[in-house]
Amino acid sequence: MSDLPIFYSFRRCPYAMRARLALLASEISVELREIKLKEKPEAFLAVSKSATVPCLVLPDGSALDESYDIMVWALKQNDPFDWLPMDGAEGDATDALVEQADGPFKTNLDGYKYAQLDADKLPVADGLAHRSYGLEFLVKLDAQLAASAGLVADRLTLADVAIAPFVRQFANVNREWFDTQPLPHLHDWLAAFLSSDLFAATMFKFDVWQPGEAGIVYPPR
């Protein structure tokens, strides 16, 4: 497998998740190395500037250390589902929405997810504030999905695939609460994503990679 790009991943990380989705969709094989974030191997730290997953090491030795860059790289090789933007306006809308998701929304998602809980296992004031700010972004997504099949176009695109793993993570903090929110279009969109064959395939459980061993070919050939 030495001729394949090496892809460092962690199954539950939403950034790694969206990169795996793009690699799977593009049908580009990589040597996947599943790692533990609490026990990062030296080989990974030597190539990842950020020391975070995902990281894609290309055969020429260069590395892509940002999940969005990995997605774009993979889809530029092969884009059978037409996820890449069709024109400049669609591209600008995609970049703007992903920037919001990766910036303010992710900050509030983390604040909500890791908030201190009260005796009833509900977030204390700071956590509730983060949840409220995060919900504002989801309301915006729901409004867009009321007008089109996807977040930036009348089809699923790079924006949908890049953002869905984070919406999933937000929903899973308290699924009972999330399911009661008046976000009908977003609920349907997320349900379709979670029930897709592509998502199921990319969430396959991988054994943790051990230094000195080969990773696994992903997607399987």
C-alpha–C-alpha distance, residues 194 and 199, integer Å: 6
Q: What is the pLDDT of residue 124?
A: 67
Per-block mean pLDDT, blocks of 10 residues, the chain (221 long): 87 96 95 95 94 95 95 97 94 96 96 77 77 97 97 97 98 95 98 96 92 88 65
Q: Which tokens in the block code for residue 72?
A: 């774009």
Q: What is the pLDDT of residue 206?
A: 87
Q: What is the pLDDT of residue 210?
A: 93
Q: What is the pLDDT of residue 121?
A: 61
Is pTM, for the whole model, over 0.85?
yes
Q: What is the pLDDT of residue 116?
A: 74
Q: What is the pLDDT of residue 115?
A: 83
What angle is formed at CA 202 by the lines to CA 141 and CA 77, rounded to 5 degrees?
A: 85
145 near 186, Cβ under 8 Å?
yes
Q: What is the pLDDT of residue 85?
A: 92
Q: What is the pLDDT of residue 120?
A: 60
Containing 168, the helix (H) or strand (E) segment is helix 158-173
| C-alpha to C-alpha distances, 88 to 85, 94, 100, 144, 152, nearest whole angstrom | 7, 10, 18, 19, 12
